[in-house]
Amino acid sequence: MRLVLLGAPGAGKGTQAATLSKHFGVPHVATGDIFRAHQREGTELGLLAKSYMEKGLLVPDEITVRMLLERISQPDCARGYVLDGFPRTVSQAKALDEALGQRGESIDRAVYVRVSTEELMRRLGGRWICRQCQAPYHEVNSPPKVPGRCDRCGGELYQRSDDQPEAIEKRLAVYLSDTAPVIDYYRAQSKLVEVNSERSIEEVGKETVAALA
């Protein structure tokens, strides 16, 4: 099963991707994780990606596509994968289709995790991340037991620069102009599955799995 997760920043793509990964027994491939791995290693691609992400901008296709194709070519992706954060533009979707077509493969389904703009602003504005283990928290929905400290490892919690109000507005504007057309791209291929993410994680997960059965 080769799946694509679509939706605005803060829609819950990562959470649902993890659920689908476990259900279908395929890797959860998040472009954010790929970017961070390159950044930790200090690669040229990693440093370039970081400069764009910190400004709340999309990383250029050339960088993203190179990283992504390298990742899904690894042995653990042979039976499929759940792509989280890619493709973000129609040009990326076409580049992915072309690359997979050369290997006799294709994306099976694209899951659109749908959330209102008001809910997205609320979710993103309260998000905090652990500096050490990257565990996510939310001021309202899932606060840490000790303010400012991670429940798992005790690491310091911080708010990413792209979760600041001005960056959030820019990220949503970029999404609407560049990423939303990808939804129509997969709808035209009859591969789109839509789920309402303004419910509990469990409810959304069950509906998504059922829709892909």
Question: Which amino acids are annotated catalytic?
Answer: 13, 88, 127, 160, 171
* Contacts of residue 178, Cβ cutoff 8 Å, sequence gap at least 6: 58, 88, 89
Phi, psi (5° rounding) for residue 212? -95, -5
Give the span between the Cα atoms of 72 and 81, in whole angstroms: 8
Helix (H/G/I), strand (E/B), else coil: 156 = strand
Dihedral sign from CA coordinates of 27, 31, 34, 40: negative
Give the span between the Cα atoms of 30 and 125, in whole angstroms: 21
